[in-house]
Structures are given as C-alpha cells and as structure tokens.
C-alpha cells in the first residue's frame, strides 16, 4: 500500500497519462539520493584506517571516482533539466518541492565530497609538525617572566593563588604586580578615584599582602583598578608591561558562571598576554610565605 497507494491516487486524480510524469519525478528524486550513496561508499572503502588490508587499491579508487563523477554529472544534468522544464511549465511540485530540496541538498553533497579529503590533508599536515625546540632551562624563566601580575579577589580564596604561584615567583625572581579591582557601584561610575569603605578596605588588604611578599624577599608593587574585573586586569597588565598574568578560577559550571561570572574566560579574550589560571575552591590553602635565606631559598 505504501508503494502503490500514492501512484494509484495520482492516476485517479490526474488520469492515466500522469503515470509517466510520476515515474519521471520518482527517478529524479532517486537521482538526488544516488550520489549520497556512491560518494560516501567510495570514501569509506578507500580509507585504510577503516578497511585495513581490504581498502580499495589505487587503480580501484581511480575507476570508482571516474564512475562516481559520471553518475554525479548525469544526475546533476537530469535534475537541472527537470527543474528548468518544470519551472517553464509551472509545475507546482517542481517549484515548491524539487527546487527547494535541491538547493538544500547541494551544499550537503559538496561537503560529503570534499570534507573527507580536507580532513585527510589536515591529518597529514598535523603528522608533519616538527618537535618544538626547548629553550635552555637554566635561563628560560628569568628571560620570559621578568614581571608577573597577580590578580587577587580580596577573598579567602587568594590563599590558593599565592600558594600555587610562589614557587614560580621564586624561581623566576620576577617582580610582582598585585592587582585588585574594586567592583562597587560607586567605583564603576567614579573609577580609581573612589574612596568609599570597600575601596579603602581592599587597598589595605592589597598592601598587607604586598608587605608579606616583601618580607619574603620579593620585589612587589600594587595597583588598584575599578569597574569590570576582566577589562581592568587586561588594561593594567598592558599598561604595566607585565610578562604573565596569574588569576584564580572558581571552576564553576554553567549556572555557576552565570551567577558568579567568569573573569578568566573573559580576560583571555581581552589580552594577548599569557595567562596562568590557578583553580581555587572553598577549601583554601594557607597563604603563608616561608622566610628565605640570603640565597633566596626557603629556610628548613
């Protein structure tokens, strides 16, 4: 019934002569489907990663692609010819069914034809990438990171950031730039000249952290920003010519980022400077900074 029913209905509706037109239209629709079967078949059987020793040899691939191109060309000619004749005759099915379907399927057919070739070419290029040459370990850190910006939130989670970055600061012997951004409503309008309670509290906190770092033998300066954290951190880092930005990430997921924001995700789009992200959490690591000897090594 599914196969014969539509044909019987068309003959009863438009007469016996409509059977020929219906047959031609069905072949046109099949011609649209034929290329979608032949091209993936040739790609699949020619892929040695999938077929292994049963992959089509070179001569077989050449013959298969010749056959596929001939089928594709004949089908394209038939489809275009049918569309042109149908539009000229004003056929409803050609104008409102065959033509839109052809327009939608043509890009898909082109993608099926060229995407595996492009993917294979990219794969070969990726395989030819040479092994990077490493710079000398004894001089790389000091040369690359002469000044490191450390973005603090003025929250207990700053202990995680300090505990994670202090070994890097000691090894590179870098100058530390402590950055904090005041996010109060007043600060967003007035800017860095704001002098409300939150700004004074944050500035005092930043100086206390800087004092701890100086006591440990590190060269440390502070900088206060106001407004959007990611924009301000990027601006200050560029103006102060730092070599690396260190920031914390809460590790929120989806809704957490919507409610709390994601400074690091926005920051990486606002600056070309390298960014080191340190995961923070509610369980805060101690921010204690061990005393050092004259050589800069921690005392036992």
Q: Residue 103 has what pLDDT?
A: 87
123, 232: one domain: no
Residue 293: inside a domain: no
36 domain-assigned: yes
- Are 241 and 262 contained in the same domain? yes
Residues 247 and 178 in one domain: yes
Residue with the two structure tokens 């099926």:
112
Residues 156 and 98 in one domain: no
Residues 194 and 234 in one domain: yes
243 and 204: one domain? yes
pLDDT in tens, 46-75: 888 888 889 999 999 999 999 999 988 988
Residues near 171 by beta carbon (within 8 Å), at least 6 away in sequence: 141
Q: Does the pTM of the predicted model rise above 0.75?
A: no
66: domain range?
5-127
* Domain shared by 192 and 249, yes or no: yes
CB hemisphere CA count around 223 (13 angstroms) = 21
Q: Identify whether residues 149 and 239 lie together within a single domain.
A: yes
Q: Does 109 share its domain with 146? A: no
Q: Is the pLDDT of residue 125 over 70?
A: no
Number of domains the chain contains: 2
Residue 117 and residue 37 in one domain: yes
Kindly compute the dihedral angle of the four CA atoms of residues 165, 168, 170, 176, in this order, to the nearest 10 degrees: -60
Is the pLDDT assigned to residue 110 strictly greater than 80?
A: yes
CATH code, domain with 207: 3.40.50.620
- 178: helix, strand or coil: strand
271 and 147 fall within a common domain: yes
Q: What percent of the chain has pLDDT over 70?
A: 81
Tell me whether residue 255 is in a domain: yes
pLDDT of residue 141: 61
Position 290 confidence tier, pLDDT thresholds 50, 70, 90: very low
Instruction: Verify that 116 and 214 share a domain, yes or no.
Output: no
| Lowest-pLDDT choice from 48-57, 155-164, 172-181 | 155-164
Domain annotation covers residue 246: yes
């Amino acid at each position: 019934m599914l196969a014969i029913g539509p044909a019987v209905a068309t003959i009863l509706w438009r007469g016996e002569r409509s059977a020929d037109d219906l047959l031609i239209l069905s072949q046109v629709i099949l011609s649209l489907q034929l290329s979608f079967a032949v091209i993936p078949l040739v790609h699949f059987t020619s892929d040695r990663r999938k077929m292994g020793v049963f992959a089509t040899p070179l001569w077989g691939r050449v013959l298969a692609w010749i056959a596929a191109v001939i089928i594709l060309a004949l089908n394209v000619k038939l489809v275009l010819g049918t569309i042109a004749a149908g539009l000229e005759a004003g056929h409803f099915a050609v104008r409102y069914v065959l033509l839109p379907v052809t327009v939608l399927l043509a890009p898909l057919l082109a993608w099926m034809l060229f995407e595996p070739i492009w993917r294979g070419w990219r794969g070969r290029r990726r395989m030819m990438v040479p092994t990077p040459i490493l710079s000398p370990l004894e001089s790389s850190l000091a040369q690359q990171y002469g000044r490191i910006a450390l973005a603090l939130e003025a929250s207990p989670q700053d202990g995680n950031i300090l505990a994670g970055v202090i070994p890097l600061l000691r090894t590179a012997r870098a100058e530390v730039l402590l950055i904090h951004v005041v996010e109060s409503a007043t600060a967003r309008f007035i800017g860095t000249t704001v002098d409300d309670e939150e700004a004074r509290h944050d500035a005092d906190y930043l100086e206390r952290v800087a004092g701890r770092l100086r006591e440990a033998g590190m060269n440390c300066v502070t900088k206060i920003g106001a407004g959007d954290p990611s924009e301000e951190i990027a601006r200050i880092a560029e103006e102060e010519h730092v070599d690396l930005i260190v920031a914390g990430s809460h590790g929120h997921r989806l809704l957490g980022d919507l409610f709390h924001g994601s400074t690091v995700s926005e920051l990486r789009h606002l600056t070309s400077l390298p960014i080191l992200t340190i995961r923070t959490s509610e369980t805060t690591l101690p921010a204690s900074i061990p005393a050092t000897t004259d050589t800069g090594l921690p005392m036992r």
